[in-house]
Structure 1
Amino acid sequence: MTKIKLCGLSRTEDIETVNELKPEYVGFVFAPESRRYVTPQTAAELRQLLSTEIQAVGVFVNESPKKITELLHSGIIGIIQLHGDEDEDYIRRLKQHTDKPIIKAFRVETENDIADAERCSADYILLDSGAGTGTVFDWKLLMNIRRPYFLAGGLSPDTVGKAVATLHPFAVDVSSGIETGGIKDKEKMAAFVAAVRKEERL
């Protein structure tokens, strides 16, 4: 069963919606340069409202392991997602501080990018077209991948069904594809989740 991650949540309304829809994961973005950035305080308030059935993922770009582990230990997040230039040495150092799952994102342009992702020591890999660009990469590159992955990049309620049917990813990850005017759209969020669940039932 393909799992669902709805990323870039920042408002109480977003949490109310996901509590109804029950995706497996939600993402809080802690990268200050992102328009979806939330402060640790805001994330903590949102986390309090989040259903215990849903796991909270913290999204980071080249953040210090110390700051990440502080958010983990405070219970604001339970999973780490790395979206910067973090290398194997960084992941190794982070794992010395926590046993929580780590997702490492890779920008996919060539088969070499897939090979790099498969060698990564993170618990999970996320394959994307770029940092929140909302565009799709060539899915043909994924036909021979051997490890489970989160699929991101250009997914929307209209495209995610085909993605699940064609690729059977471990999880799908969406942010801009469920927004209208840069704000999370309840109808699009519901349609995205419904499209994934419908494909699973076929």
Structure 2
Amino acid sequence: MNLRSATATQVLGSAALVLLLVAGWLLLLGPVTGQIGESREAVTDAQDRNVTLGRQLSALQEQAADLSDTRAVAEDLDRLFPPTADQPGLFTAVVGAARQAGYGPDDITTLSPSAPVPVLDGLPVDTTTVTEQQVDPATADLAVQVVTLSAEGTFDEARRLLRAIEQLDRAFLVRSVSLTGTSEDTGFTVTLSGATFVAPPVLPPATAG
């Protein structure tokens, strides 16, 4: 083959171009293409991580909302069923309800809460037959405190008193109501027997378990 011929020149030129293209691909385009592929893969991985983190964030936000609701319920339960008898607080609440109904300080003739009695399996414990060593009020699920209230006033004041008792923040179960008196001139004496409750405090969600 004559290297000086036109055909040989074309063949050699084409071979040289092919070699240059191969060398350019290996030296320049190949690494760049590999880097582009790696970058695309990294972007895809980052997008997947963002989606996963977004779902986790949404779940945590939902749990945070539930946690606030749970704490609010726990606070409401502590007000309805306090962890202690809190007789001073009970006196204040009941006297406040009586004054709201229109009774004066001297109109309340009786206000006597008893000591809390533990409740086991839904039934009050007979404290006359069960000793303190056998029943620990601190470990009972619930304790009942009997409250007796008597006040002298008008019929409307007695009716308002019952309404005010029902609206106390602390749970108050009215068991019986008696009204004695003959007329508005002589006045009426309302005697109310009820119960409040003592329960162990609800553990905050952050420390429960």
- When normalised by structure 1's length, the TM-score is 0.21
Structure that is richer in helix per residue: 2
